[in-house]
A and B are shown apart, each in its own frame.
Chain A
Amino acid sequence: MKHFHLVTRRQFLDRAMKTGAAAALASLTNIPLVMKQALAAESSLGTNGKKLLFIFLRGANDGLNSVIPIGDDGYSLEHRPDILIPRDPGTDYTILGGCDYPSVATPDAPTFGYASAIRLGNGFSALHPSLKFLAPVYNAGDLAMIHRVGYPKQSRSHFDSQVYWETGHPNNPSKEGIFYRTIMESGLAHTLPLTGVSIQSSLPVILRGSDAAMTNLKDPNRYDLLGIPNNTNGNSKADFHLRNANEFPFPSRLNRDLLKLQYNNLSQTLSIFDAMDFSETGNIFTDDVNTDGDTVPYHLFPTTNSKNGGYQAHNNDPLKYVVNPNSYSFFRDLKAAAMVLNNTDAMIAGTRLDGFDTHSNQGGVTGAHANLQRSIGWAIYALRKYFTKYAQRVNWNNLVVVTLSEFGRTTIQNSDAGTDHAEANVMFVAGGGVKGYNKGNPSGVFAGHPNDSIPWVTGRTGSMFGVSTRYLKRSVDYRSVLGKLIRDHLGASQEQLNRIIPGYATASKRLLSGGVSGEDGTQITGELPIV
């Protein structure tokens, strides 16, 4: 379906002639001022300087062990004998305040030595101990954790449910990405060299569509043409001739304008990427503080042993590293996504973290799932630092980081000490503009508390057993979370959002203001005040 208004460069300029002042629009440096003015007449999507970084947690994260309903007696040894995150007997989880930030007691103790659920300070919830680096982000008010997120007629197939999350169109065969549509609505897809970028093996559905090819970088170092065969010094000769040939006039054919535009984009991207060092040597980004009593600030993107915080001091004890060595490739991709957002016009970039399909031996305080939590926690911590200390085109205040995951996992563990496919799950949203703890909201946990408008019902017949007696029941639709971000952060108008998320404004879906979903009769909250 072609329902976008595509803005060509020509239309851009035409519109600019007809509109008035909008000079105060924030800085996307490569867009001529007139274009910004043109766009402002309709919305600020693509011109307000706001950006988004997504991380897809593929395989379905066990959200109940990430943001733990520690005050719910349904979260118990009986249901999770091998994977339960225990309470700290010395901690009163009902005390209100900030999130505890367990630090390492002695210089030689494991980084994640605190082996209990971390008190979040909302009187009910707790964090997995491997998420401890979320504490400073949370306490700054920069983190929202939205629990019980799902969609009507939840599919429990990875295949289908990942696609639904990525299209923003559950139970529909459409395969057009929600962020693809966002970028198409911005009108920038055919104007700028880079608008939506993913860093992974291939372009994910979330950025896919048939009217524009978003950029996937398997490895950003590949943005380097090979040059003259057999001659390593021949790059400039090949590059010169290629760029030169791009400018040759030719008779008009249907796709020649597109080809010329994208070749120019390639040329520009080559120049942009030339000035950026994606290689290992270029990974120089470090924390501004020393954590856990260490003598050096940790690298923000742990991509090698020597850049993995804690490795230097304890190089034979992986439990003392900030992240598990298996996650270096994830941090390489995350670093590239962050650098692309920070140094180019790209509005949306992201990557994925694999391995969440923990059907067996999931682990509890330590183990497979805990290692993945370490990556999530440190990634969000590090992105905040990177976009503060190293900010160029975008800073932390103008960025939102969001995680997606296709569904949650069973409340009750299976006989293999793992969990199976279930329904509602938790989403992490972080950024300087996020209204978290003590920053517009009393807590950074949303839809995860018995006092919520749709209460988290505790006990054996409560929310955790709300569907088929073993799945967490949803109270938030993921579209309400993404919709809120696309409109109120990225700057889409409500009208644009209604096209980006089909049916968003349909009253019966209750995505905006909440109520009983006409799609399956479940009570949902609608949008939450997260930004």
Chain B
Amino acid sequence: MSSLKQLFGISVFAVALAVHSGSQAQPLPDIGITRTNGNASIRLPLYPAAEQFRVFKSQNLEGPYEEVLTGNITGFNWQEIISGQSNAFFKVEINTLSSNDLLSATVLNRLAYGPTPDELERVRAMGAEAYIAEQLAPENIQETLDFDQPVTAAEWRYVTITGTATSRDFYIYLTQPGDVYLDDMKLVAGIVPEVGANLLVNGDFESALTPPWTVSANHAATVITSAQVHSGSGALHLIADDGGTSKSSSVWQTISNVTVGQTYTLSYWFRPGTNLITSLTIRFSNDGLRHNPDSIATKLASGLADLDDLRAWHVLRAIKSKRQLLEILLQFLENHFVTQASKSKEYFDGIYSDDILIEGLATEMEYRENKNWRAALLRPDCSFHDLLKISAESPAMIIYLDTVGSKGNGKNVANENYARELLELFTFGVDNGYQQNDITVLSRAWTGWSVNIVDSNQFHNPFAPRSVTVIPGSPTNTMQYLQGIWAFNYKTGNHNTNSKTIFPGATVPARFGPPYAGRNYQLVLPQRNGTNGIKDGYEVLAHLADQPFTQEYISVKLCQLFVHEHFEHGYDFTDPNLSEEGKLVRACMATWESTTPKGQIRPILQTIFNSEMFRGLGSASHKVKTPLEFTVSAVRALWSPTPFPTAYSDGYSHKNPLDLMGAMKLFDRAEPDGYPESAPGWISAGTLAERVRFVQAMLIAPGQSGRGDAGQITADPVALLKRKLDPADYNNAGKIADYFLSILFPGEGKANLKLYHEACVSFLNTGDNGIVSSPISLLAHTSIPYDTRVRGMVAMLMSSQRFQEQ
């Protein structure tokens, strides 16, 4: 491709432009050329994913053109000193990222919560194609997440963790009152557990708890015990009557043979005490090595988790799971079929007085939704209907949208809330194929869908009677003292038993074209009495799940999730000039229609992932990250897990930043439309200030002030750098800049990052006051100033506009 441009001036130049792109064609960019005082300048074009600009020159328009190697590129300006006055023609060639590199960046931003340094290498090597195939079959991806191993019995469990000594002070404590047994604790230099001398004194707890071990007052009941030992004759029985936080509230020792800044590996055995849930923390001061044996998973498994536990678990999965697409889809479902834990709490508040119990119940119902969707998505033939049914049967949904108390018997008027959102938000989309009266009639179908506490083994039975088992020792047998599980429960007495006609006489509008247009989609529900009334709801779900309106609306939402935000339902699919967006939605619908059963999720996703629009520049960098995506991708961007993680999050520390970045309260969205997928809903000066502060705080070194916003989230960019860069380049500003640019903005193209690169180099070579020259080549790469410099540069890049994108 080429275009010509003429310039008026002393001499006449013409510029021809060629694009060698790894992706589909883009409109040719405009370029400018000027000549002043013996300088020829070309304003290089802005072109997505540009890796390299090359300038060619010829005396004739027809050529031959020869590359000009003497020119200078500063940002987007190319300049050459011209000798003589002869006319010349110039041609600019743009080389873009290879299609595999571009697609690798896109899939890691859309099918995953952003690239990690290792995943970027892996996906490029295996091919983005293979990654898509891998992610579409999550059941074949083996994973063992360290934080997701519930303790189900009081037995000994082995733990190892590698990290950096950020201090010689080593703490063990419980953050809540309780107890735990510990044994055979070893700290060795390097990355291999138990190889080398144990640097801890009395780590096997075979002798008395004496110095260097020091026991703080809140752990005063701690003893060496022989009652529970892993090996030998003694173990530590750590007992706290008050939660600890640091040295003065822990059992600690200062390890004389540890060198700050070096890598060490800790291994130990632990056994839960009185309670399966332990709140054990073991760490170096300043957190270079830190471990909490999993209690989140244990809490979730036992139904004792609170909302913050569930959020932490969800966030940690987003960061660490190898089944990234599955996690993306689970967040999508949580947001699409939104429910609000606070509304469940309000409901239980009328029954129970124990706030912890109420929170636990509301949390468990949110967790149950997630578990059920997860199980469904792990089946290759999972359909939208399956996912819709899980949502409809979820007690959280029944409470959230008020079917719980809705009655249609006698003169009672049914609550319309669920019926409205079911059509408007969960299936058809707003004003898409229904009338207000359909909502009124539909609301009667849902009367009777309520919740109740039933015997635990009856939770799949909507007709189960209320539990009659009373918690031992209860003063009365009223509802609040019953044992069981809160589940979907059908109340026959509340149901409107009349026959119902929804969408009377309605046919699919012409805009859908074949095979849909003209189809009659009236739904007649017969008169149904007793337990038969439950069929109304199931019949409605089956009817709605695969209507063209649903196909369209859900396809639109998936395209908004994976491609870009400018998809809307309401396309005229018969229009010969149907937009590319409309065509992709139509293709998704064709796939939806073609599978048996209809609406299988994986083929629909495959349709999107196979599309030109997704694979090329039609999706890359078009979207802005939500607060969840932003904080998770920030951790992942610097997270290389082995031999020790170069970034860390406890999961819990995302809650406050998410709140500050626009009140993104996971599992607790008040509005039924879910959090926006579009940029304007998230991006303002105020929310950007929070985003910038978050990455800055996260990159401040542990132990330094100002990192409060990031809580327990830390990153060690120098450790990452040293894992990935040739040691000869540790002090090479250009190489340092290039490495971080390549992992933070893998889809942008080096040529487009030239100004960022220059800013990075300038940053690395300037003192902290922003004025004095201080080349990084003169800083020892083990020194704190070097560390500070690199942290600052990475913080700058992650504060930039481009890191907001995916």
**A255–B800 contact, CB under 8 A?**
no
Q: Which A residues touch B700, using CB under 8 A?
A: 226, 229-230
CB distance from A354 to the nearest CB of B (A): 16
Chain A neighbourhood of B763, CB < 8 A: 237, 241
User: What CA separation (Å) do A238 and B766 show in the bound complex?
Assistant: 11
Within the complex, what minimum Cβ distance (angstroms) separates B200 from chain A?
Answer: 30
- Indicate if the CB atoms of A242 and B796 lie closer than 8 Å: yes
**Contact between A253 and B621 (Cβ–Cβ < 8 Å)?**
yes
- B657-678 CB mask vs A (1 if < 8 Å, else 0) is 0011011000000111100101
CB distance from A199 to the nearest CB of B (A): 11
Contact between chains at A225 and B689 (CB < 8 Å): yes
Choose one: A159, A216, A229; the contact of B343 (CB below 8 Å).
A159
Contact with B along A246-265 (1 / 0, CB 8 A): 10111111111011101101
Q: A230-B784, A253-B622, A265-B685 are in contact. Are A202 and B678 (CB under 8 A)?
A: no
Q: Are A269 and B689 in contact (CB under 8 A)?
A: yes
Say yes or no: is B188 at the interface (Cβ < 8 Å to chain A): no
Interfacial chain B residues near A222, Cβ < 8 Å: 660, 689-690, 693
Are the CB atoms of A211 and B663 closer together than 8 Å? no
Number of interface residues of B (CB under 8 A): 80
Interface stretch of the complex, out of B42-50, B355-363, B515-523: B42-50
Q: Contacts of B801 on A, CB cut-off 8 Å? A: 245-246, 250, 256, 259-260, 263
State whether A254 touches B566 (Cβ < 8 A): yes
CA–CA, A233 to B800, complex, Å?
Answer: 21
- Judge if B770 is at the interface, Cβ distance under 8 Å: yes
In the complex, whether B696 has a CB less than 8 A from a CB of chain A is yes
How many Å lie between the Cα of A211 and that of B566 in the bound state? 12
Flag A190-228 by CB within 8 Å of B: 1 or 0 each: 100110010001110100011111111110001101111
Chain A contacts for B693, CB-based, 8 A: 222, 225-226
**Which residues of B lie under 8 Å from residue A190 when comparing CB positions?**
680
Segment 726-780 of B: residues with Cβ below 8 Å from A: 748, 752, 755-756, 759, 762-763, 766, 768-770
Report yes or no: A237 in contact with B623, Cβ–Cβ below 8 A: no
Q: Does A266 contact B (CB under 8 A)?
A: yes
A259 to B682, CA, bound (A): 11
Smallest CB separation, B714 vs chain A (Å): 11
The answer to whether A238 touches B46 (Cβ under 8 A) is: no
- Interface residue? A175 (CB, 8 A): yes
Q: From B76, which residue of chain A is reached at the shortest CB distance? A: A249
Known: A230-B791, A238-B696. A245 touches B621 (CB 8 A): no
CA distance A265 to B748 in the complex (A): 24
Say if the beta carbon of B534 comes within 8 Å of chain A.
no
Cβ-neighbour of A213 out of B620, B660, B680, B800 (below 8 A):
B680
Q: Which residues of B contact A163 (CB under 8 A)?
A: 670
Q: Are B622 and A234 interface neighbours, CB within 8 A?
A: no
* List of A residues within 8 angstroms of B29 by Cβ: 251
Q: 0/1 per residue, B562-577, Cβ < 8 Å to A?
A: 0011100000000000
Report the bound CA distance from A263 to B624 in whole Å: 13
Return the chain A residue nearest B693 by Cβ: A226
Find B688's partner among A251, A255, A262 (CB 8 Å cutoff).
A262
- Of the candidates B48, B697, B701, B770, the one whose C-beta lies within 8 Å of that of A230 is B701
CB of B48 within 8 A of CB of A240, answer no
Assess the B752–A251 pair: CB atoms within 8 A: yes
The interface residues of chain B lying within 8 Å CB-to-CB of A253 are 48, 620-622, 805
Least distance between B800 CB and chain A CB atoms (Å): 5
Is the Cβ of B679 less than 8 Å from the Cβ of A258? yes
Q: Are A234 and B676 in contact (CB-based, < 8 A)?
A: no
B430 lies within 8 A of chain A by Cβ: yes
A326 at the interface (CB under 8 A from B): no
B417 within 8 A of partner (CB): yes
Complex contacts, B47 vs chain A, CB 8 Å = 251
Report the bound CA distance from A163 to B763 in whole Å: 48
B795 & A203 in contact (Cβ 8 Å cutoff): no
Contacting B at CB under 8 A, from A143-199, are: 159, 163, 173, 175, 190, 193-194, 197
Contacts of B762 in A (CB 8 A): 241
Q: CB < 8 Å: which of B50, B672, B692 contacts A225?
A: B692
Instruction: Tell me the smallest distance from the CB of B569 to a CB of chain A, in Å.
Output: 12
B770 → chain A closest CB, angstroms: 3
| Chain B CB within 8 A of A231 CB | yes
Q: Does A284 contact B (CB under 8 A)?
A: no
Query: Within 8 Å of chain A (Cβ to Cβ): is B712?
Result: no
B686 touches A216 (CB 8 A): yes
Also in contact, A229 and B791, with CB within 8 A (given A216-B686, A234-B768, A245-B800): yes
CA distance A254 to B560 in the complex (A): 12
Question: Beta-carbon contacts of B306-349 to A below 8 Å, as 1s and 0s?
Answer: 00000000000000000000000000000000000001001000
B residues in contact with A217, CB < 8 Å = 686
B623/A269 in contact, CB under 8 A: no
CB neighbours (8 Å) of B768 from chain A are: 228, 231, 233-234, 237
A209-B681, A222-B660, A263-B801 known, 16 other contacts, Cβ within 8 Å? A175-B670, A202-B659, A210-B678, A210-B680, A225-B799, A227-B696, A228-B768, A229-B791, A236-B769, A236-B770, A238-B696, A251-B752, A253-B620, A254-B623, A255-B622, A266-B689
Q: Which 5 A-B pairs have the closest CB atoms?
A: A237-B770, A215-B686, A213-B684, A202-B663, A175-B671
| 10 A-B interface contacts by CB (under 8 A) | A173-B420, A212-B684, A213-B686, A215-B687, A229-B791, A241-B763, A242-B799, A249-B75, A250-B748, A251-B46
